[in-house]
């Protein structure tokens, strides 16, 4: 049976973990860098050749018993050889991923690039979500909403923003938010992802007062964004995926057909719909930024939000003098949180 690309990625990732357990972690990292780091199909195939050369070299090394491990029992293969076999198997899988992924990745190749134009340090530790309002921003953290001005000075902080009845149901986390008109749309997440139910709430954008919430059939809920032109809301079923869920807000959040994306994007933490696209921020190895065409689902890789080793979080795509997109990123040291402004070309 033909397997989907996400399944293959999952399989390769699992094998990578076993490679790391066998002491072949540096090669496992090569996979991450090449496959999950946004390389093009051509680059992946080039790096694949390099990794295969290293396997051949390492085979010689393992025969020379230079793995710096205790000798294996006579009936057991050397651990190095086991790791090599696993790596070779994983590479075969990787080749499968490449052959499937390459056309998609190639089609995703554009000259579109996000370039940091300026960066601000948040005074508050509001690290999850961001949405533009006149003169400033609404920010979210686990159970807090806040309004800040353009200099990021706090204007209103609403702690315990999730009402008790919803907290009792397990909803303890607010992800990346959006604002349309006078309403903040906020994804509430409960941590039992297998339950298959999450919630999205509305708050008054001026007072940050809770209005209401609706439960939705999705496993995770890192973001919501609402297109003001159509009042269609977008989210994702899981943190990684190759489709965006769509809901008709005016029809009581009736599910619509998902928007199929041209390739899988992992660890999505934020999104904003603007200018005919949904702009995604991730917390993958590069804190990657992506643009998904609303009509075609084509995914453009825009590059990195920076602060590698930190965590990419929410995004807003209001065109401002400071830039086209604006991202929250947690510093690699765990604090502070940065608001980066990016110009996008292409």
From 109-117, 175-183, 196-204, 273-281, give the range in contact with Ca ion by CB under 5 A. 175-183
**Per-residue binder mask for Ca ion (CB under 5 A), 110-139, x = binder:** ---------------------x--------
| Residue 232, strand partner residues | 227, 248
3-class secondary structure, 252: coil
Q: How far is CA 75 from CA 79, 82, 172, 233, in A?
A: 12, 13, 53, 59
Q: Can residue 272 be called a binding residue for Ca ion (CB under 5 A)? A: yes
From 44-52, 92-100, 107-115, 272-280, give the range in contact with Ca ion by CB under 5 A. 272-280
Q: How far is the CB of 270 from Ca ion (least distance, A)?
A: 5
Nearer to Ca ion, 237 or 316 (CB): 316
Nearer to Ca ion, 300 or 316 (CB): 316
Is-cis flag, bond preceding 336, omega within 30?
Answer: yes
Nearer to Ca ion, 97 or 180 (CB): 180
What is the footprint of Ca ion within residues 310-339 (CB under 5 A)? Answer: 314, 316
Q: How far is CA 48 from CA 33, 35, 88, 117, 311, in A?
A: 11, 10, 11, 35, 28
Which two tokens mark 3?
């397997």
- The DSSP output letter for 53 is H
What is the footprint of Ca ion within residues 81-110 (CB under 5 A)? Answer: none
Q: Say how far apart CA 131 and CA 108 lie, in whole Å.
A: 27
Q: Can residue 176 be called a binding residue for Ca ion (CB under 5 A)? A: yes
Nearer to Ca ion, 22 or 176 (CB): 176
Nearer to Ca ion, 272 or 300 (CB): 272
Angle between helices 41-63 and 79-108 (to 10 degrees): 170
Nearer to Ca ion, 165 or 181 (CB): 181
Q: Say how far apart CA 205 and CA 42 lie, in whole Å.
A: 47
Q: How far is the CB of 285 from Ca ion (least distance, A)?
A: 22
Binding site for Ca ion (CB under 5 A): 131, 176, 272, 314, 316
């Amino acid at each position: 049976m033909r397997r989907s690309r996400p399944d293959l990625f999952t399989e390769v990732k699992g094998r990578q973990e076993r490679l790391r357990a066998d002491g072949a972690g540096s090669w496992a990292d090569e996979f991450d860098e090449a496959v999950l780091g946004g390389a093009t199909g051509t680059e992946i195939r080039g790096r694949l050749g390099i990794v295969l050369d290293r396997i051949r070299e390492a085979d010689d090394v393992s025969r020379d018993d230079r793995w710096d491990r205790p000798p294996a029992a006579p009936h057991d293969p050397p651990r190095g050889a086991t790791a090599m076999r696993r790596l070779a198997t994983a590479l075969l899988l990787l080749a499968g991923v490449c052959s499937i992924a390459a056309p998609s990745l190639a089609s995703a190749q554009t000259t579109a690039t996000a370039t940091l134009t300026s960066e601000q340090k948040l005074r508050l530790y509001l690290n999850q979500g961001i949405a533009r309002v006149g003169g400033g921003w609404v920010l979210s953290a686990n159970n807090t909403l806040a309004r800040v001005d353009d200099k990021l000075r706090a204007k209103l902080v609403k702690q315990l923003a999730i009402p008790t009845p919803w907290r009792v149901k397990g909803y303890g986390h607010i992800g990346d938010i959006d604002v349309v008109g006078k309403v903040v749309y906020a994804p509430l997440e409960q941590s039992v992802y297998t339950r298959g139910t999450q919630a999205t709430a509305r708050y008054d954008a001026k007072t940050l007062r809770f209005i209401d919430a609706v439960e939705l059939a999705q496993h995770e809920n890192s973001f919501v964004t609402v297109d003001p032109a159509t009042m269609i809301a977008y989210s994702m079923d899981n943190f990684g995926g190759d489709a965006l869920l769509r809901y008709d807000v005016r029809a009581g959040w009736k599910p619509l057909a998902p928007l199929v994306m041209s390739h899988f994007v992992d660890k999505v933490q934020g999104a904003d719909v603007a200018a005919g696209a949904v702009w995604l921020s991730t917390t993958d190895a590069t804190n990657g930024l992506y643009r998904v065409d609303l009509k075609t689902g084509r995914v453009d890789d825009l590059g990195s939000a920076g602060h590698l080793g930190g965590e990419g979080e929410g995004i807003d795509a209001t065109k401002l003098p400071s830039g086209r997109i604006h991202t929250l990123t947690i510093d690699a040291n765990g604090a502070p949180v940065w608001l980066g402004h990016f110009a996008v070309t292409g």
